C-alpha cells in the first residue's frame, strides 16, 4: 500500500493535533479542524490504512489514533516545517551564552544545558569528554609561602585544576619562572598517554636541582588528567518529564526515572555527531527508552576533546521548535567554547 499525498496530509494533521493536545485524534476532529476536502468517513478509512502501515497506533481506551514511532520518523524526516526562532529568542540565547563566557568551560556547558532544559521543558543530558583525551594547555607554579606552592594545571578541555604542593624550601621567584618555562616546554600539548618515560626523564634532567618539586608536580599532573578516565554525565531538568501527561502513569514515570538514574544507559542514548540526531521510540534500542525521543549533538572543547548534549522526553513533543532551539544553543555554545580555546 502506497502512502499518497492525502494520507500524508491526514498523518500530518493527526501528529500536529496530538502534539498540541496530547489526546488521541479521531476522524471527526480532523474533518472539523482541517480543510482536507474529504469527509470524516474517508478520513476514518485513511486512518485505518495508516494504522495498518504502522504510522498510527490506537490506544485500547480510545477510538482516536496517536502517532507511532514510525509515524513520527516520517514526520520529522519529510513532513514537518522547519521552524524559525524569533529575533527575541535568538537574542536571549546569544546573550545567555555571552554572559557565561567568562566562566570555566564546564560551567559554560552547564549554563547551556540549563538554558536548553528551560526553553524546551525537557531533560538535558550532558556527557563530558574523557580526561584521558585532554591535553595539557599550561602549567603554572605559584609561590604561596616558604613551604607551599600552588600548581595550576589547565587542559584544552577547559579543566582548571589547582594542587597545593608542600615542600621543605620553596624556590625564589626567578627560579619559579624558569621552572614554569621548563614544565610548559616539556608537557604542553601532551595527553596523559604521551607523558611517557622519555618525557619524564627529559623533564627530570631539565629540572635538575629541583628534585623535590619534580617529585611533587608529576603526581599532581597525573591526578588531574586521570581524575576521570571515562566520560562524566550530568543532567538538568530531570523533573520536567512530570509536565507531560504521558508520565502521569506511575509505571511510566518509574521507568523513565530509573533510566535517568542509570548513567551507563543514558550514555547509550547519546549519539555523538556534529549535526543534531533524533532517535524516536524503539530506535533507542533500550527497552527503558522505547517510548522516548532523544535529540543529541556534539560540542567541541578544542581540537580533540568533544562532549555530547542530549534532550530526552516523550515521543510527543514539538520537534520543529525543539530542534530550532537546540540548533541555536549549540551554535552559540560552540562559538563561546571556540573563543575560550583560542585564548
Query: What is the Cα–Cα distance from 281 to 336, expressed in whole angstroms?
Result: 33
pLDDT band at 152 (very low <50, low <70, confident <90, very high): confident
100 contacts 111 by C-beta, under 8 angstroms: yes
pLDDT digits (tens, 9 = 90+) for 92-150: 999 998 888 877 777 888 999 999 999 999 999 998 876 666 778 888 888 888 888 88
Q: Are residues 256 and 165 in the same domain?
A: no
Mean predicted confidence (pLDDT) in 143-167: 81
Question: What is the structure's pLDDT at 29?
Answer: 93
Question: What is the structure's pLDDT at 30?
Answer: 94
Q: Are residues 152 and 219 in the same domain?
A: yes
pLDDT band at 266 (very low <50, low <70, confident <90, very high): confident
For the chain, the domain total comes to 3
Among 224, 200, 225, CA closest to 133: 225
Q: Are residues 329 and 238 in the same domain?
A: yes
- Among residues 79, 95, 116, the one where a domain terminates is 79
Q: Are residues 9 and 38 in the same domain?
A: yes
Mean predicted confidence (pLDDT) in 152-171: 79
Worst-scoring range by mean pLDDT, 3-7, 146-150, 278-282, 311-315?
146-150
% of the chain exceeding 90 in pLDDT: 42
What 3-state class would DSSP assign to 294? strand
Tell me the C-alpha to C-alpha distance, in Å, between residue 207 and each of 21, 200, 241. Answer: 69, 10, 56
CATH at 203: 3.30.390.60
- Strands of 232-236's sheet in order across: 232-236, 123-128, 306-314, 292-300, 277-280
Range of the domain at 334: 87-129+231-341
289 contacts 269 by C-beta, under 8 angstroms: yes
Does the pLDDT value for residue 283 go beyond 90? Answer: yes
Does the pLDDT value for residue 192 go beyond 70? Answer: yes
Query: What is the Cα–Cα distance from 272 to 265, expressed in whole angstroms?
Result: 15
Question: What is the structure's pLDDT at 113?
Answer: 94
Q: Are residues 191 and 149 in the same domain?
A: yes
- Among residues 202, 225, 248, the one where a domain terminates is 225
Does the pLDDT value for residue 74 go beyond 60? Answer: yes
Q: Are residues 196 and 236 in the same domain?
A: no
Question: What is the structure's pLDDT at 247?
Answer: 85
Q: Are residues 121 and 244 in the same domain?
A: yes
55 contacts 11 by C-beta, under 8 angstroms: yes
Q: Are residues 164 and 311 in the same domain?
A: no
CATH at 55: 1.10.10.10
What 3-state class would DSSP assign to 320? helix
Percent helix, strand, coil in the chain, to 5, is: 50, 20, 30
Q: Are residues 327 and 263 in the same domain?
A: yes
Alpha helices in the chain (DSSP H): 5-21, 27-33, 40-52, 69-74, 87-99, 105-120, 173-187, 197-206, 211-225, 250-260, 263-269, 319-341
Q: Are residues 174 and 30 in the same domain?
A: no
Q: Are residues 113 and 32 in the same domain?
A: no
Q: Are residues 120 and 248 in the same domain?
A: yes
100 contacts 336 by C-beta, under 8 angstroms: yes
Q: Which residue has the cell 535529540?
A: 295
Query: What is the Cα–Cα distance from 25 to 29, expressed in whole angstroms?
Result: 7
Amino acid at each position: 500500500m502506497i502512502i499518497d499525498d492525502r494520507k500524508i496530509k491526514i498523518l500530518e494533521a493527526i501528529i500536529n493535533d496530538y502534539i498540541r493536545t496530547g489526546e488521541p485524534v479521531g476522524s471527526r476532529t480532523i474533518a472539523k479542524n482541517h480543510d482536507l476536502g474529504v469527509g470524516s468517513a474517508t478520513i476514518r478509512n485513511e486512518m485505518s490504512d495508516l494504522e495498518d502501515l504502522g504510522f498510527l497506533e490506537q490506544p485500547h481506551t480510545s477510538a482516536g489514533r496517536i502517532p507511532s514511532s514510525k509515524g513520527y520518523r516520517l514526520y520529522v524526516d519529510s513532513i514537518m516545517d522547519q521552524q524559525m526562532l524569533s529575533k527575541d529568542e535568538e537574542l536571549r540565547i546569544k546573550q545567555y551564552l555571552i554572559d557565561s563566557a567568562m566562566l570555566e568551560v564546564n560551567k559554560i556547558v552547564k549554563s547551556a544545558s540549563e538554558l536548553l532544559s528551560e526553553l524546551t521543558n525537557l531533560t538535558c543530558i550532558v556527557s563530558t569528554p574523557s580526561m584521558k583525551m585532554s591535553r595539557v594547555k599550561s602549567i603554572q607554579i605559584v609561590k604561596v609561602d616558604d613551604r607551599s606552592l600552588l600548581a595550576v594545571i589547565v587542559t584544552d578541555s577547559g579543566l582548571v585544576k589547582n594542587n597545593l604542593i608542600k615542600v621543605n624550601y620553596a624556590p625564589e621567584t626567578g627560579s619559579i619562572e624558569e621552572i614554569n618555562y621548563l614544565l610548559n616546554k616539556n608537557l604542553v600539548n601532551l595527553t596523559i598517554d604521551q607523558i611517557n618515560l622519555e618525557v619524564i626523564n627529559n623533564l627530570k634532567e631539565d629540572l635538575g636541582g629541583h628534585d623535590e618539586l619534580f617529585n611533587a608536580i608529576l603526581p599532581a599532573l597525573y591526578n588531574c588528567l586521570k581524575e576521570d578516565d571515562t566520560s562524566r554525565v550530568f543532567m538538568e531538568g530531570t523533573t520536567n518529564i512530570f509536565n507531560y501527561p504521558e508520565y502521569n502513569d506511575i509505571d511510566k514515570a518509574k521507568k523513565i526515572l530509573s533510566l535517568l538514574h542509570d548513567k551507563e544507559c543514558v550514555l547509550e542514548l547519546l549519539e555523538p555527531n556534529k549535526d543534531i540526531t533524533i532517535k524516536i521510540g524503539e530506535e533507542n534500542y533500550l527497552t527503558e527508552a522505547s517510548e522516548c525521543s532523544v535529540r543529541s549533538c556534539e560540542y567541541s572543547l578544542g581540537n580533540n576533546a568533544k562532549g555530547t548534549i542530549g534532550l530526552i522526553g516523550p515521543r510527543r513533543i514539538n520537534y520543529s521548535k525543539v530542534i530550532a532551539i537546540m540548533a541555536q544553543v549549540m551554535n552559540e555554545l560552540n562559538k563561546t567554547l571556540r573563543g575560550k580555546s583560542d585564548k
